[in-house]
Amino acid sequence: MRKLNRGRSTRSIYLSLACLSLALHLLLAFFCLSVLQTACVLPSSSSSPATDALNHESHSSIYSAASSSHQAKDSISGAAEKEKTLISAGKVTQTFKRQSKLEALFKHLLYNLPQPELQEDDWLLRVKPNEHARDTESKEMEKEEAILIDSEWQSASSEEGYDRVTWTSDMETHPPWLRFHLGITRRELYSRNDPNVAQLTHYLATQRILAAVQKPGGTQLKLLMSFPNYGQALLKPMKQPRDAETDVNLFYFSDFERHNAEIAAFHLDRLLGLNRVPPVVGRLINITAEIREVTTDSKLSRTFFTSPAGNVCFHGQCEYYCSTEHPVCGQPHALEVSLAAMLPDLNIAPRRSWRSPWRRSYSRTKLAKWEKDPAYCDTVKQTPPYNHGSRLVDLIDMAVLDFLMSNMDRHHYETFEKFGNETFLLHLDNGRLRQCCKLMIRRSTLLRLRLLSLPDFRLSDVMRESLVQDPLASVAPLLSEPHLSALDRRLATVLQVVQSCQRHHKDVIYNDLEEYDKDHDRQPE
């Protein structure tokens, strides 16, 4: 009997120990699960203390190049502190989990700097009634003018396919392309916050195509497309796969112009904060229905044919690559194209074309002057229109854009005549600096480049995100990953060149943020 009780007691002890062991294992499991869950939760802000420390270290290394200048140490530290303030100011906007890098970029202070108020002469085009002649006209003419001012503008066109347009002095009644024209200023083609840019690209991507003719001039095939409400766009067709890389042995202008390069240039220009490339959008069109059957260009019509594979093709007439050996072909009718918004007609907004001081010689044996003259930069800086105003730093902005795109064929650029030398350069024809340290780069441009080199705003990441907005992104990525990686490498090269220049020269940076500095200095500490 005693042995039986002892056996029961032993079993009770074993059972208690087993229960205790199970409880401990469950407790340990819950503890591990909570630890793992905490580790997997994303931080509420991409600007964590560790990230801030890393960025601070990065900023310190970036600004270390400037410390070799001839200014006093306190001035250098003050300037560097302002730079770090400008770059780090946007981090407070990243407060949501997994926030879009693109949204965070455009909320950053460097993309929202205060600008002087625009004056009447700063607008390229203005809609206003003709009231100046009233003092010298008869009362009868005065009444007639009053009626015209109050009435609506109606197009008298009876051409088939065009909408009967009713535009009033109210800008809301204007089609997107006209609002784009009326929004051009001395500073930029459009404001980054202008909702009409999205409306314009949507218009170009969806509106019915009424006519197509080949655009005269140029070296490669381009078409001028017409839409309802008298809108127009410049079309560049797809001629090779998007991810095709240029043969390193090709001469500078021997590559095809790429439709996706035009689209990418528009997005990159916005990411750099320049806003100087006309809005561009991708579109999938029907070669037969939207080009061949609507064209009135007899020369273009004669170049259409059906390939042995059954695809509809054409080649047009131009200086390069317009032949049956270099056709533009559909699949069998579908064709990817880029459509760029047209600028105002030259009759109402004349433009002036300038030869780039750093254009190529376009000779296989001769070098351009800038390639062999060490003092060439000094010559440029002393030559009109580069010896005053902002023309020189505008040229550097364009050079940075071209380098990031690997566009080596910028032989000309344009400006609006109305604004003279005090205006931006038009970044046109983007289908494809280190030479001198004494050329100045805008401080705002340099700070944005530094910002785009940081992990929180990496150029390749925001470029990828921006390009997803284009309609053709649903077919395939506009830029391949190797192309996006190349942007980061080229950006690093630009920053390295600027740092190197700052170590050996003064006045490398053109300070266009003086007003911000004054406001910053006025703020209480």
Same structural domain for residues 2 and 93? no
Work out the widest C-alpha separation in the chain, in whole angstroms. 135
Catalytic residue among 269, 297, 397, 409: 409
Distance in angstroms (rounded) separating the CA atoms of residues 179 and 514: 32
Same structural domain for residues 361 and 415? yes
236 is in an annotated binding site: yes
Would residue 38 count as lying in a domain?
A: yes
Mean pLDDT across 138-144: 46
pLDDT tens-digit map of 435-451: 577 678 999 999 999 99
Identify the weakest region by mean pLDDT among 115-119, 231-235, 365-369, 465-469.
Answer: 365-369
444 within 8 A of 511, measured Cβ to Cβ = no
In one-letter notation, the amino acid at residue 263 is: I
Would residue 120 count as lying in a domain?
A: no
465 within 8 A of 100, measured Cβ to Cβ = yes
Per-residue model confidence (pLDDT) at position 459: 98
For the full predicted model, state whether its pTM sits above 0.85: no
Residue numbers of the domain that contains 490: 351-519
Q: What one-character DSSP code corresponds to residue 291?
A: I
Would residue 82 count as lying in a domain?
A: yes
Per-residue model confidence (pLDDT) at position 522: 58
429 is in an annotated binding site: yes
Would residue 215 count as lying in a domain?
A: no
Per-residue model confidence (pLDDT) at position 141: 44
- Tell me whether residue 488 is one of the annotated catalytic residues: no
pLDDT tens-digit map of 157-189: 444 554 444 555 567 778 999 999 999 999 999
The answer to whether the peptide bond before residue 327 is cis (omega within 30 degrees of 0) is no
Same structural domain for residues 363 and 433? yes
Quote the number of domains for the chain: 3
Q: Of 66, 82, 97, at which residue does a domain stop?
A: 97
CA distances in angstroms from 436 to 390, 500, 508, listed in the order given? 18, 11, 10
Would residue 108 count as lying in a domain?
A: no
Same structural domain for residues 2 and 68? no
Would residue 179 count as lying in a domain?
A: no
Per-residue model confidence (pLDDT) at position 271: 97
Would residue 510 count as lying in a domain?
A: yes
Same structural domain for residues 30 and 82? no
Answer yes or no: is pLDDT of 270 > 70.
Answer: yes
Same structural domain for residues 484 and 401? yes
Identify the weakest region by mean pLDDT among 316-325, 459-468, 491-500.
Answer: 316-325
Phi, psi angle pair for 401, to nearest 5°: -60, -45
Same structural domain for residues 358 and 436? yes
414 is in an annotated binding site: yes
Same structural domain for residues 83 and 22? no
Same structural domain for residues 31 and 56? no
Same structural domain for residues 28 and 51? no
Tokens of 348: 């109402």
Distance in angstroms (rounded) separating the CA atoms of residues 51 and 456: 9
499 is in an annotated binding site: no
Same structural domain for residues 397 and 467? yes
Same structural domain for residues 34 and 52? no
pLDDT tens-digit map of 335-390: 999 999 999 999 999 999 999 888 877 777 888 888 888 888 888 888 999 888 88
Would residue 383 count as lying in a domain?
A: yes
Per-residue model confidence (pLDDT) at position 283: 97
343 is in an annotated binding site: yes
Mean pLDDT across 254-269: 87
